[in-house]
Structure 1
Amino acid sequence: MTVWIRSLALVAMTGAGLYLASTLLVSSDGASQGVDTTAGAQAAVPPAQPVMELLPREVLRVMPATIAERLTVSGEVQPVQRVILRARSAGVVVELGAREGEAVRTGDLLVRFDTEDLAATLALRQSEIDATEARLLFARQALDRIERLAERTIATQEQLDQARREAAVLQAQLDGLRAQAGIAQATLRDAEIRAPFDGVVASRNVDIGERASAEAELMTLVDPSRLEARVLIATRDVSRLASGQSAELRIDGLEGETVRGTVLRINPVANDGSRFIVVHIGLVNPDGRLRGGMFATGTILVEERADVLALPATALREDEAGAYVLRLVEGRLERRPVVTGATWSGGQVEIREGIAPGDMILIAPLPGLGDGALAEVTGG
């Protein structure tokens, strides 16, 4: 009995793949028979896996960095010290010491009222005081005599009571006149209004010769060396703020410059009809370029942490096994499970476990890429 055994006789390589050129059948007794299979059989080989070309901006080499959480704010610059000077009593303005925009020093005269009537009133009150003091002196002397006579029963009780009444009435009159004189003196002093601090006149509402009523606004004085930005913060974010936090602001009119400040105060309640709370950021204005009313935008530094591994949120992927990233290792993407932490400003996500400094991570959300895919960075 003859048994035929199939063995490969020739393998030819073509551009389309591997082809079996011929087959040799060998019997157990040494006989052989060739079978031509060139036109028929083809050994199927999977095509080569394509290599994905990645741009430099689509990957990131992870390195420890300092990341910060910042809160975006906007608001208006206002002077910290601002006072409206008012007239305490009615009068005619006879002198003004400064105009709008002029700088003044503490104690400088700003407004003077006509004092002729005030001086006359004070002189009248003083003369009445002098006359009443003289009458009171005679009344007390008379009271002393009557009291001595009453002790010897020479003066009656009625005379004694009358002398005491006259002295008490004169004393009351004197006290009233002295109070009126004090008011006249205060009014005379109020006729001159002086600068309570070093500053600049922001507005002037009267002119020489005008009669100002009591409590009328005369001037507004501000201190331009100390300013603050009043910004609005949503109530959901205010719990993250505290006094002393630093801020960086950009001011309209000072393009290209960053003004640094510090959170000074946080209002305890939201503005009426809104869910925003006013936060006051202190600013230093040594060169006087900042002005009240300028618009400011910027950020408040809420938290900062050093030596953190972080990735853009676009680098994170998720499947049924959990969160992971794709790490590029020797031309092949590798699935790396990660443990994430806090999300920071700018979409940065802290990675606590799963990656190491120096790892090259795919950060672009490219579809169709997964574990084992071939990739290389091109273009730089």
Structure 2
Amino acid sequence: MNIKRPTLIVAALVLLVIAAGAFFMMRKPEQPAASGAASPASAKPGAPPARPTLTVTVAKPESAELTDTLAANGNVMPWQEASVGSESNGLRLAEVRVNVGDAVKRGQVLATFAPETINADMAQAKASLAEARATAADAAGTAERARTLDKTGALSQQQINQYTTAAQTAKARVEAAEAVLAAQQVRGRNTQVLAPDDGVISARTATVGSVVAAGTELFKLIRQGRLEWRAEVTSAELGRVPVGTPATVISASGAQVQGKVRAVSPMVDPQTRAAIVYVDMPNLQQNSAIKAGMFARGDFQLGRSNALTVPQASIVPRDGFNYLLLLQPDNRVSQLKIDTGRRVGERVEITTKLPPDAKVVVQGAGFLNDGDLVRVVDSANPAPAAAK
């Protein structure tokens, strides 16, 4: 069947019209929704309110009196260390009575030397003294008799002078013999090595049976058992640490000891620009966790001052800095970069100036960004963090 060209064109136009009508009929149900979605500007009057990002708690910064401290590092050393040595020469060490770590009293016997040689020398000195005294007594009697014959002319003046000189010489020999005996008695006392002061034995080189020379060190003694913390303080901070300042010394194990500044070095190291501050600590026996030679850190208690503090949970660390999220009147939050200071318990000092009526977000602060809308609840009965 032959269909004319105008008929085909008309049929095509009819089909096109039908297809267009069907397309618009299919879009019809969606038109109300599309007409209801307006731009943000046109939606303001009748649009529903924005939903908050989180439910949070807030708190006001509080003023508190905090302890002002200065941190430092240093070594724990003996207050004074005494060297206890031998005063006798060439004697054999017979007994050692103490060991490292023993607490001793002033005058306590630490070690003894064999006394046989000293006893023999002392006996000889006593005999020499007795002989000198006898000789002196005889010479004195002869000189006295010679002086009685002075006026008779039986003896010449020269002979009388000789007898008098002999008596004086004999007396001098007695004194010399007494000095020798005294020296031997001192050697006898030196056969006992005595503690020069109260303290604790920190080192021992004495060995039973050894023959030592005079001056050989046998023991080292921490005098009075006192230790001190030698803290390094920079020259800029040195003026803040006068004598008598309390300090807390903390060992590597965490043990804490209270002490006081005994002295401040008058010299500053030109290399480190730091000076040594000497902190006296209590008796060594009471501080089993603190030993001489240990490295320790500590804090000097410089006094107390007022500070503005916030809960530690309200501080948000980001990108190496600390921030607070402040609640605005429209319940949105603004991010503020801050500097922190001292910490006491769960509160942290804020050194950055805050608005007088500032309120900081506490619970949920770490999940918020600048400009987020929040819902505030009472901190005593917090709601779930995520808004529904």
Bin of the TM-score, shorter chain as denominator length: 0.5 to 0.7
Asked if 1:94 is matched to 2:94, the reply is: yes
Give distance in 2, aligned partners of 1:201 and 1:137: 52
Residues 241 and 152 of structure 1: is their aligned pair in 2 closer, same or farther, counting only changes over 3 Å? farther
Taking a change above 3 Å as real, the CA distance of residues 16 and 211 of structure 1, as seen in their structure-2 partners, is: same
Structure 1 residue aligned with 2:159: 159
Equivalent position SS for 1:64 = strand
The question of 1:78 aligning with 2:77 is answered yes
Find the counterpart in structure 2 of residue 25 from structure 1: none
CA RMSD of aligned residues (A): 4.6
SS, match of residue 186 in structure 1: helix
1:277-288 paired onto structure 2 within 5 Å: 277-284=275-282, 286=286, 288=288
For residues 180 and 271 of structure 2, the distance between their equivalents in structure 1, rounded to whole angstroms, comes to 48
Q: In 2, distance between residues paired with 1:55 and 1:169? A: 112
Q: Which residue of 2 aligns with 1:268?
A: 266
> Structure 1 residues 276 and 187 mapped into 2: Cα distance closer, same or farther (>3 Å)?
farther
Query: Equivalent residue of 1:290, what SS?
Result: coil
Query: Is the Cα–Cα contact under 8 Å of residues 68 and 302 in structure 1 kept in the other structure?
Result: yes
Counterparts of 1:232 and 1:175 in 2: how far apart (Å)? 58
Q: When the two structures are aligned, how many residues end up with a matched partner?
A: 317
**Structure 1 98/326 Cα, relative in aligned 2: closer, same or farther at 3 Å?**
closer
Matched, 1:185 2:181: no
C-alpha deviation, 1:218, in angstroms: 0.8
C-alpha deviation, 1:279, in angstroms: 1.8
Q: Which runs of 5+ in 2 are unaligned?
A: 1-35, 43-49, 316-323, 333-339, 377-384
Aligned position for 1:135: 135
> Alignment identity in percent?
21
What does residue range 168-317 of structure 1 map to in structure 2 within 5 Å?
A: 168-222=168-222, 226-252=226-252, 254-255=253-254, 257-270=255-268, 275-284=273-282, 286=286, 288-305=288-305, 307-309=306-308
**1:146 corresponds to:** 146
Secondary structure of residue in 2 paired with 1:100: coil
Tell me by how many angstroms 1:355 deviates.
6.4
Query: Counting strand residues as a fraction of each chain, which structure ranks higher?
Result: 1
Asked whether the equivalents of residues 107 and 195 of structure 1 are also in contact (C-alpha less than 8 Å), the reply is yes
Question: What is the CA-CA distance between 1:304 and the residue it aligns to?
Answer: 2.0
8 Å CA contact retained: 2:197, 2:224: no
| Structure 2 counterpart SS, 1:215 | coil
Structure 1 length-normalised TM: 0.65
Contact 2:68-2:302 at 8 Å conserved across structures: yes
CA deviations on 1:206-245 (whole Å, 9 max, x unpaired) are 3211111111111223368532222222233222211221
Question: What residue in structure 2 maps to residue 26 of structure 1?
Answer: none
Asked which structure has the greater RCO (Cα within 8 Å, sep 6+), the reply is 2
Pair 1:65-2:64 in alignment: yes
Q: Paired residue for 2:116? A: 116
Give the direction of change, closer, same or farther, for the CA distance of 1:87–1:17 in structure 2 (3 Å limit): closer
Partners of 2:76 and 2:227 within 8 A in 1: yes
Aligned partners of 2:274, 2:161: CA distance in 1, in Å?
72
Q: For the residues of structure 2 that align with 1:18 and 1:349, how far apart are their CA atoms?
A: 41
Shift of 1:129: 1.3
Shift of 1:99: 3.0
Cα offset, 1:83, TM superposition? 2.4
